[in-house]
Amino acid sequence: MGKYKHIDLNYLNDLSLGSKDFIEDIIQSFIKTTPESIQKMQDSLVKQDWQIIGGVAHKLKTSYSFMGMDDMVEVSKVLQECGLNAKEVEKIPALLDQMVVAYALAEAELKEELLQLQN
Amino acid sequence: MANTLIYLVDDDDLYLKTAVHNLSQNKSFTIKTFTTGEDVLKALSKKPDVIILDYFLDSEKPNAMSGIKVLQEIKQIAPDVEVIMLSGQEDIDVAVNSVKYGAVDYVVKNKSAFIRVQNDIKRVTKTKAKDKDQESFKKFARTMIIFLIFLVIFLILYLIDETLFGLIPSPGEAPPPVEEIPLH
């Protein structure tokens, strides 16, 4: 069982090769870019621009995998499929809601981790 | 070990940072990053050894060049530059397309991706060094052959010349009289 409930930083730790600065930088980038990406998908949902949703979801998969958010990797995969192929688009709103909640929970833990790294 | 110039092309900032962090552990690598295919094409004149190229460069910008299109352009402009294709998904079509258009490998962005990319780079640079050695040897061999041909021609001409001017007796001709030195 990891230290956190919604994130798992083992993979990021492996990638860091022992550099705390790197972990801090990646977490800060994730906190900055992920809400922008989610917002972009929500805007695209209104415009029914499925391709953009698929493309953004594709990119988010890697970011979520760095944070050990396996559930969100799977959600991103489904969003990518639905978006890029413009099929089963009725699933998209619920998946995006799920992502918003998961991100909020993860962000709290990531900020906690940042505080620990900075002390 | 010679320095290896690597271009890394991905529109995902987080992945770029992570890739640079991992690859730059190898001190013989010089890494330059690009977020679009258009930018990397402009920088080909610097002759990178390897380009690590994301397949899905047009994920958020449908008007941007796709990874496959960039790969095709690279191979047209600089066929000697080796390209390793990166993709976030395991897709046989992506892999087949990448290799079909000249990529040396197709790597999925999973936990072992950086190890595989580093192995690919080592393999590519080793092959390039071997090719360079072979090319140098061929050049040396060509020079030696030309030198030997000239040497043989020169010797033939020399012998003909000596024969014509009587310094060397022709076959059947009496040797020139030897001057007798009186003995004291």
Contacts of A25 in chain B (CB under 8 A): 17
Evaluate whether the domain defined by B4-131 bears CATH number 3.50.90.10.
no
Tell me if B60 and A14 make a contact (CB, 8 A cut-off): no
- Please return the burial class of A54, using the count of CB atoms within 10 Å of its CB with bins 0-12, 13-18 and 19+: buried
Q: Compute the nearest-CA separation of B50 from chain A (Å).
A: 22
Give yes or no for B62 touching A (CB within 8 A).
yes
Beta bridge mates, A95? none
Stretch B110-134: mean pLDDT: 88
Burial B101-137 (b: 16+ CB within 10 A, else e): bbbbbbbbbeeebbebbeebbeebbeebeeeeeeeee
Tell me if A17 and B21 make a contact (CB, 8 A cut-off): yes
pLDDT score, position B50: 96
- Structure-model confidence comparison of residues B133 and A89, the more confident one: A89
What percentage of chain B has pLDDT greater than the value 70? 90
Tell me if B18 and A11 make a contact (CB, 8 A cut-off): no
Q: Compute the nearest-CA separation of A55 from chain B (Å).
A: 4
Q: What is the pTM of this model?
A: 0.80
pLDDT tier at B132 (50, 70, 90 boundaries)? confident
Q: Among B11, B18, B59, whose Cβ lies nearest the Cβ of A15? A: B18
Stretch B158-183: mean pLDDT: 69
Domain extents for chain B?
4-131
Crossing angle of the two packed helices A50-66 and A20-47, in degrees rounded to 10: 160
The amino acid present at B52, given as its one-letter code, is I
Residue B53 to residue B57: CA distance in whole angstroms: 9
- Structure-model confidence comparison of residues A70 and B166, the more confident one: A70
pLDDT score, position B175: 64
Selected residue of A14, A17, A59, A63 to mutate for chain B interface (largest B Cβ count, 10 A): A59
Inform me whether the pLDDT recorded for B1 exceeds 60.
no
pLDDT tier at A37 (50, 70, 90 boundaries)? very high
Alpha carbon B129 to chain centroid, angstroms: 7
pLDDT score, position B165: 66
Domain extents for chain A?
10-111
CATH class assigned to A10-111: mainly alpha
Residue B3 to residue B121: CA distance in whole angstroms: 12
pLDDT score, position B152: 93
pLDDT score, position B174: 64
